[in-house]
Structure 1
């Protein structure tokens, strides 16, 4: 379950890409984040994206971090149920 939070973030990113008809490649270009970094996140090779990365992703979608995290599954997630940071 250590990556459950990461999976929710990936789900949020993919949902935003679908809503805006973006590919991961387009998101990479728009956010300034390398394609390999996004690919690693999407394919669960990276589990803890830095806040700077999330900020760039949110900005590419013309969202603030608050708006990016305004997602029911993220709001409902409890870190108390996990055993690691």
Structure 2
């Protein structure tokens, strides 16, 4: 799994846990529909940090909280091997 896949998985998981559609995330984060669609479909390999911050805030969390999950810990461990 790469960083992009982890970001996509994290967003999907957070939406699922909250019972949100992507439209609800768009509404709450203020990120436009095309950007969310590109992230979710894999077309956006490197979303800007400000975009990820807006997404995190849409989930009512900090950017640090967004990345504080096993998905990203595993990436760090894979890189060190």
Q: Give the TM-score of the pair, scaled to structure 1.
A: 0.85
Moved over 6 A (4+): none
| Residues matched between the structures, number | 79
Give 5+ residue unaligned stretches, structure 1: none
Give 5+ residue unaligned stretches, structure 2: none
Measured after TM superposition, the shift of residue 26 of structure 1 is 1.0
Structure whose residues are more often helix by fraction: 2
Measured after TM superposition, the shift of residue 10 of structure 1 is 0.4
The separation in 2 between residues aligned to 1:48 and 1:32, in whole angstroms, is 18
Q: 2:34 is matched with which residue: 20, 33, 36?
A: 36
The separation in 2 between residues aligned to 1:56 and 1:73, in whole angstroms, is 20
Q: Give the TM-score of the pair, scaled to structure 2.
A: 0.89
Measured after TM superposition, the shift of residue 76 of structure 1 is 2.0
